[in-house]
């Protein structure tokens, strides 16, 4: 894949694509308290969002990581596709969630190898803030809206969050690298442009996390 398909720091990419990195990522969610809290909150929001979405034919989970959400998602669709850029993550997901997912593939979230409107729901958790430029973060969003026929559930790091405001202060004082953020209004504008309506945009936590979990559904008129 070219650089545009792997728009993260090489050290992060190498770790994410390694067997050791994939295993460590899974262990984090099994052992670290803040990861467990985040996982619980994400599932609570997803449960609420799927009350709006309902049972669907197909869900794309990209990036799927080690398949953390596969059991949850499989209960809400007839066909679950787990996808990730990392070979190691796809392999680990296939091993851990073989009974949950109906298909696995390695691909980029910036160029999803699926036709337009080919899945009912496209879901992407914890990727946007790893993409290094605004252009790439928007490209990621557009791909999710392109392949979805019914709904998109996606996270981004909010520019207006308390955590980002604090990071901006640290950036000014110490030169620390700024966060890779998105403005909530811009996310909503892209969704509207592509025929979706924002149904919800809930912060993961008001303090301690800048992530927002958004739900968008396709406008029936589009």
Q: What HEC string does 20-75 produce?
A: HHHHHHHHHHHHCHHHHHHHHHHHHHHHHHHHHHCCEEEEEECCCCCCCCHHHHHC
Sequence-distant (≥ 6) Cβ neighbours of residue 79 within 8 angstroms: 57, 58, 59, 102, 103
- The pLDDT assigned to 2 comes to 38
Q: Are 110 and 5 in contact (CB under 8 A)?
A: yes
Q: Which residues of the chain have pLDDT under 70?
A: 1-19, 21-23, 25, 97-102
Closest by CA position to 187, among listed 167, 160, 219:
160
Confidence (pTM)? 0.88
CA–CA gap between residue 222 and residue 214 (Å, rounded): 20
User: Quick one: fold of 3-218?
Assistant: Rossmann fold (3.40.50)
- The pLDDT assigned to 92 comes to 80
C-alpha dihedral, 214 to 219 to 220 to 222, nearest 10°: -140
- The pLDDT assigned to 53 comes to 97
């Amino acid at each position: 894949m070219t650089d545009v398909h792997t728009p993260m720091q090489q050290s992060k990419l190498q770790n994410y694509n390694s067997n050791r990195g994939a295993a460590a990522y899974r262990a984090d969610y099994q052992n670290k308290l803040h990861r467990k809290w985040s996982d619980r909150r994400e599932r609570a929001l997803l449960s609420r969002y799927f009350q709006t979405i309902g049972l669907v034919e197909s869900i794309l989970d990209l990036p799927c990581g080690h398949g953390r959400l596969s059991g949850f998602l499989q209960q809400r669709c007839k066909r679950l596709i787990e996808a990730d850029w990392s070979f190691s993550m796809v392999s680990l997901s296939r091993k851990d969630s073989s009974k949950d997912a109906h298909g696995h593939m390695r691909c980029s979230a910036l160029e999803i190898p699926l036709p337009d409107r080919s899945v009912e729901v496209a879901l992407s958790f914890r990727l946007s803030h790893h993409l290094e430029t605004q252009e790439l973060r928007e490209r990621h969003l557009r791909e999710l809206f392109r392949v979805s026929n019914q709904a998109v559930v996606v996270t981004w790091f909010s520019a207006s969050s308390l955590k980002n405001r604090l990071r901006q202060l640290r950036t000014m004082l110490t030169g620390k690298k700024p966060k890779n953020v998105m403005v909530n209004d811009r996310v909503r504008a892209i969704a509207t442009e592509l025929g979706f309506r924002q149904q919800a945009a809930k912060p993961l936590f008001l303090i301690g996390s800048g992530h927002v979990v958004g739900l968008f559904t396709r406008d029936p008129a589009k």
